[in-house]
Amino acid sequence: DARVTQTPRHKVTEMGQEVTMRCQPILGHNTVFWYRQTMMQGLELLAYFRNRAPLDDSGMPKDRFSAEMPDATLATLKIQPSEPRDSAVYFCASGFSFQGTFGTDTQYFGPGTRLTVL
């Protein structure tokens, strides 16, 4: 049963510290998405990649957030420096896209990383 995995599942840190969240997409998938979920804002898309290339990161605060895919099996989301307002659940999702049908593909979500910044 293929699943998206995310580590860590929970992270508590102090303001100003660097936070790195990792995601392993389902083997064979070529799209990766990062979302942030909060009670106030709901589910927000932060970034997405296709074939490891970033297609859109307009939802991400550029001054402190960065997203990368070092290889096809690993996606990372970093926050440096972290702030209390970054406290949220961060989800990674993956999917498979044929060229031109990107938006219609089913996304498979990981269990999320619950981040608390004190």
Partner 1 sequence: AQSVAQPEDQVNVAEGNPLTVKCTYSVSGNPYLFWYVQYPNRGLQFLLKYITGDNLVKGSYGFEAEFNKSQTSFHLKKPSALVSDSALYFCAVTSGGYQKVTFGIGTKLQVIP
Between residues 17 and 38, which has the closer beta carbon with respect to partner 1?
Answer: 38
Between residues 54 and 81, which has the closer beta carbon with respect to partner 1?
Answer: 54
- Residues found near partner 1 in the complex (CB under 8 A): 4, 42-43, 45, 48, 55-56, 91, 93, 100-104, 106-112
At closest approach, how far in Å is the CB of 16 from partner 1?
Answer: 28
At closest approach, how far in Å is the CB of 81 from partner 1?
Answer: 27
Instruction: State whether the Cα torsion 109-1-28-70 is positive or negative.
Output: positive
At closest approach, how far in Å is the CB of 115 from partner 1?
Answer: 14
The amino acid sitting at 75 is: A
Between residues 45 and 72, which has the closer beta carbon with respect to partner 1?
Answer: 45
Q: Exposed, middle or buried: residue 85 (CB in 10 Å: 0-12, 13-18, 19+)? A: exposed
